Amino acid sequence: MKHNYPKLDIQDWQTIQPHVDALLATKLTPENVRDWLQQWSDLESVLDEEMSWIYRAITENTADEEANARFQKVVGEVFPKWQVAEQQLNEKWVAVEGYEPDQETAQIYRRTKAEIELFTEANIPILTELQLQSKRYQEITGGLSIEWQGESITIPQAEAHLGDRDRGVRKQVWRKSMDAYLAHRDELNELFMSLLVKRRQLAKNAGYPDFRAYQWLRRGRFDYSPEDCAVFHDAIEKEVVPLATAMYENIARQVGLDRLRPWETGIGSPWLPTVDPYDEPLHPFDDVSQLEAVGQRVFERVHPDFGRYFQSMRDGFLDLASRPNKAPGGYMNSFPISGKAYIFMNAVGTHRNFRTLMHEGGHAFHFFEAFQHQDLIWNYHAPLEFAEVASMSMELLSLPYWKRKEGGFYDGQDYRRAVVEQLVGIVTFLPYMAVVDKMQHWLYTEAPDDITAADIDAKWSELWDRFMPGVDYSGLDVEKATGWHRKGHIFGSPFYYIEYGLAQMGALQVWRNALEDQDGAVAAYRRALAAGYTRPLPELFQLANTRFAFDRATVGELMGLIQTELEKHL
């Protein structure tokens, strides 16, 4: 379908209002709704594209005052007006008599009705404040650094030293990194308590008993419940925690330790062991140009179209290297008019960086596939529970091509190490995911009204001891208790974390299929990506030839698959 993207200035509502007015003035019938939706989608695409450029600027340089001013203006002045306009457009659509959504619009229609139910003008200023405050978390953590060997290095750069053979080096780097966070402990506590109060008010204003109920609908969780999450947490505790604990203990023995301490795991990824019994940690590249080149070859081997997509991103849509004042972490963002995906990360030469590129590449290819097959912007992005299947599956589908002879970085022993690290990382991540998710269920449904930061510290410590017994934090009570400060999702994306665990169940099934038929598994995977958000969550899993399941039997079966495959590489 031909698009008609309007010309406007995202920072000036007066240029947007006429397009909204034209949509609102249209007399809708069942016959013309689809064309009207396309006009609305094209308007939304312009706003989304411009916001993507602004977000790119403020994360590439958190000290960019001009970009920050643009962000503040859009969020503070334009965003509130757009919220009202969207509500008016939503109500106009669902009021069309005789209209029946088809496969293309059914999921959009379902989400639209949820948005109408959630909307109240009283929440607009609160949502605006929450966006601005969430950015403050990025500014604080993105500016953290430590002094190391006479120079200032970022936390991601510091994390690369946690694989050093010298335990004294690991401990010193970890200690300095913790001190960098702890120096902002009061500020982070104050920030989160403010966020918590506002989130509770959102729910109250919208007529919901708690923020979980509000956020459940806001995130479009139509196909599973909080009770299902509890089932998943229990399955992880029974089927994964013992396996993860045994893995930590085995790694400790291999490196001559009684037990793993936190400086033998990551900072941003505190579940992931950073030490191994080999002389040197995996260090696949020195410069991000090498990472790009190898990523290109690997993606091409998974499927030529993926290689073609990635090649297009190498022309200005990759920012991979770590540097001062760059926001932490990594993400993929999309540009719905340019038709491009963008990958942001903080690469410092580690294997984890390579794996992150595979992960974000999966997100990027999801956008490319959906963009080519869907016309409405709301269908470009699948529900997050399946969006993460796209990224996690790519990590696993690419495994055969991590070998140097297949285009990747590794020979022989190093390849086996990389595969083992991948599989161990999946197992050890799931208990950590349960900590983060259970923490949020407690925060927003059970925690007292007069909760304090000390209460949150205590709950995090309790959950950590329950799900993460394999890493010994004895004597480090403060560092353990404040671990939630180092999880950005808790600050900026409440209730966004269970998706990673649910998606891992799907990704492991994609991998299981690939072990029997790589080409067939990739074809099913692409079919599901191309569907965008035109199917309910269980049907998207079905398109990928997997099941949306997370009961104890399913979790246990997939942990058994990992154990079987690990034995081939140990």
Average pLDDT of 466-475?
A: 97
Model confidence over 512-535: pLDDT tens digits? 999 999 999 999 999 999 999 999
Higher pLDDT, 569 or 293: 293
Q: Structure tokens of 485? A: 């400060």
Query: Which residues is 273 bridged to in the sheet?
Result: 265
Query: Mean pLDDT, to the nearest integer, of 434-439?
Result: 98
The conformation of residue 78, written as its DSSP 8-state character, comes to: I
| Residue 4, domain member (yes or no) | no
Task: Supply the pLDDT for residue 231.
Answer: 98
Taking the C-alpha atoms of residue 279 and residue 265, their distance in angstroms, rounded to an integer, is 17
Region of 549 please: left (phi>0), alpha (psi -120 to 50) or beta: beta
Q: Does residue 233 register a pLDDT over 80?
A: yes
Please determine, for residue 1, whether its predicted confidence score (pLDDT) is greater than 80. no
At 277 the pLDDT is 83
Q: What is the DSSP string of 215-269?
A: HHHHTT--S--HHHHHHHHHHHHHHTHHHHHHHHHHHHHHTT-SSB-GGGB-SSS
CA angle 99, 104, 105 (to 5 degrees): 45
Residue 56 forms part of a structural domain: yes
Per-residue pLDDT of 376-412, as tens digits, reads: 999 999 999 999 999 999 999 999 999 999 999 999 9
- Rounded distance, CA 500 to CA 390, Å? 11
Could you tell me which residue, 44 or 282, shows the higher pLDDT?
A: 44
Residue-wise burial string across 370-395, b where 16 or more C-beta atoms lie within 10 A, e elsewhere:
bbeebbbbbbbbbbbbbbbbbbbbbb
Query: Is 115 a domain residue?
Result: yes
In a domain? residue 110: yes
Determine, yes or no, domain membership for 330. no
Decide if pLDDT at 262 tops 90. yes
Tell me, what's the pLDDT at 421?
92
pLDDT at 469 over 90: yes
**Residue 14 class from Cβ within 10 Å (0-12 exposed, 13-18 middle, 19+ buried)?**
exposed
Give per-residue pLDDT as tens, 74-115: 999 999 999 999 999 999 999 999 999 999 999 999 999 999
- What is the per-residue pLDDT across 9-57, written as a single tens digit (0 to 9) for each? 999 999 999 999 999 999 999 999 999 999 999 999 999 999 999 999 9
Please give the tally of structural domains in the chain: 1
Torsion on CA atoms 359, 386, 470, 453, rounded to nearest 10: 100
348 domain residue, yes or no: no
Strand partners, 331: 344
pLDDT at 329: 84
pLDDT of residue 143: 83
Residue 147's DSSP bridge partners are: 152
The answer on pLDDT for 255 being more than 70 is yes
Write out pLDDT tens, residues 332-379.
Answer: 999 999 999 999 999 999 998 999 999 999 999 999 999 999 999 999
Q: What average pLDDT does this structure show over 544-550?
A: 97
Whether the per-residue pLDDT at 511 is higher than 70: the answer is yes
State mean pLDDT over 148-175. 92
State yes or no: pLDDT of 274 exceeds 70: yes
For residue 465, tell me if it sits in a domain: no
* 457 vs 465: CA distance, rounded Å: 12
Residue 195 counted as domain residue:
no
Owning domain of residue 24: 13-119
pLDDT at 296 exceeding the cut of 80 = yes
